[in-house]
Amino acid sequence: MISKSFKLLSGLIFIFFSTILCSEEKIDIWKKEKINPEKSINSSNKKTNLEKANKVNPSENIKIEDGSFDKLVERRVFGVYDPGKNNFDLNMWSTTNAEDVTSSIKRLKKIKLSKTSNDILENILLSFSYPPKGMGEKEFASLKVNWLIDNNRSDLIEEFLKQNKEFEGKGKAVQYLVDEKIAQANIKEGCEKIEFIDSTIKDAYLEKFKIYCLVFNKKNSQAQLLLDLLREQNQSDKFFDDKINYLLGISSKTSNNINEKNLLNFYLSSVTIKDFNFTPSSNTRKEIWKYLNAANLIKIEDINDKAKIRDLEIAANQGQVDKKIIFNIYQQMEFSLNTLIRAKNLYPTLDKIDARALIYQKYLLSESADTKVEYLFILEDLFREEKILDIYSNLLSEQLKEIGLENIPNKYKEVASDRIYSSNEISISKVKYNDKILHQSKIIKFYLENEEQKKIQKDIDKIFKKIGKNRKYFYSAKDLALVDALMKDGFKIPDSFKREELAVKYDVPKNLLNLIEKKQNAYLALKIVEIIGEDEPYQLDPETIYFITNLLNETNLIQIRNKVLISALPQRV
């Protein structure tokens, strides 16, 4: 007979091994049931609406499996805009090859984009998203930062820095903001930008600027401490040490050599050298030109120095120098009374700079509107010949406005009107509704003025009925673009409107339709930016407007479509 104690011991042993087996079984199951975060994200997306699904917290790291059960790789997204704002998502580039994206961006860099094109591009490029196929997150972040810097978007650079903690090119972005303020001779605001300099940025240039800011704000002991640390790390140099020691009062003398290696060195030269005098040339850095202009350090000692004046003209044309400086120089140049009287006949025989100065002075001396306008357009031709028209275009527009279009001779009226009213002024001018033409009717108030849907539906019924009575009415491609948008947005179009019969007249490029099939919506939007290019949508032909809006409807890119419609459809006063 087995004793009670033996039975009890056997029972305990059985329970102990059962527990171990159960534990091992749970661990085995856990190992087999690896969580697939992408699958989790996708299933979550199905349960939420598009806008919520695309909300991004840029401070979070998103983990995915990299073809292995054991290795998890962190994927980060960088940007400014929520992709859902424009009906995109985090994977908006995932089906597009990196080469296609970079090639498109390179082409766009060569174009002076219109406001609408630029707005669309910003929203595409700066949405939080994973990079295209074949591009790493560092390269993608650099592409975004470089575009912002190349386009002088300091406001968006600050926003990018606020929303993204660590990314490739962060030091470059901060240095751009710092240099921009130095170039404006606004050191106080420049020093405020050092808030973006943190432990993730290992940059000697920015550390030097931080030290100078401490000196600027009279925090000398802190500046000295940071300078000592910089020296210990061999990140300082003889020039910087000399300037800071002088500013701290450690030494009473400083070198009079002007250092153009970078903007900070040049600035330090200008504030430490007594009677600072510098003559810029065509090789002078763009940011140094800007600083000289902002700090009022550009001086012409010899008004007859044509080489120096020419360098100033080139700098002004590139936006580095205030254009008013050029016209002040022209006004100071001396001509005899006889030369001024015979200016119209003599200017072709003169040096190009003298010719521009003479005609400008003749314009200033003219009294009648007729002669003023004549000399303004002669001057335009002279600037155009030398390919420096950017110096003159704003002044021409302002002077023509001052004279008044009604006072301009008939032979100049058309060209003067073109010079006065820029495309931007036209695009934001008052809308004139015309209910005799579908795409100009008050129906478009839905897109322009956020009119209530019920009221717009009544207008649709009324205007279609009115137009239907006009047997001679021709439905245009712009009309079709509006109808497609209305249908997409849930409005009911009368059965009498034969949409399909009209649509067959217009072709949508097959290469762009292929992008929809491949789910390359972001790349399609990028291609549309290329198509719009330098123009505003209202400047495009009706067929192009139709196929662009058609593609945007197909891809559900409604916000971008609305930008196109708002420019393309209305009649403006």
- For residue 63, the surrounding DSSP H or E stretch is strand 62-65
Query: What tokens appear for 387 in the block?
Result: 């390919």
Closest residue by Cα to residue 117 from 573, 569, 570, 567: 567
Pair 556, 480: CB distance under 8 Å: no
User: Chain centroid to CA 328: how far?
Assistant: 33
| Four-residue CA torsion sign, 329, 333, 337, 342 | negative
Tokens of 171: 């030091």
Distance CA 198, CA 531 (A): 41
The token pair that represents 137 in the structure block:
């997150």
C-alpha–C-alpha distance, residues 331 and 325, integer Å = 10
Q: Can you list the residues of the chain whose pLDDT is less than 50? A: 1-9, 12-13, 15-55, 59-73, 423-428
CA distances in angstroms from 202 to 138, 194, 197, 381, 573, listed in the order given: 17, 13, 9, 51, 55
- Sketch the domain layout of the chain as residue ranges: 140-299, 304-422, 432-572
Distance, CA of 112 to CA of 108 (rounded, Å): 8
pLDDT at 34: 39
Query: 288: closest CA among 323, 309, 318?
Result: 318
Name residue 572's beta-bridge partners. Answer: 431
Provide CB contacts within 8 A for 27, sequence distance 6+. none
Nearest to 563 by CA among 122, 81, 62: 122
Half-sphere exposure of 338 (CA within 13 A, CB side): 0
The predicted structure's pLDDT at residue 308? 86
pLDDT of residue 424: 46
> Over 267-314, what HEC string results?
HHHHHHCCCCCCCCCCCCCHHHHHHHHHCCCCCCCCCCCHHHHHHHHH
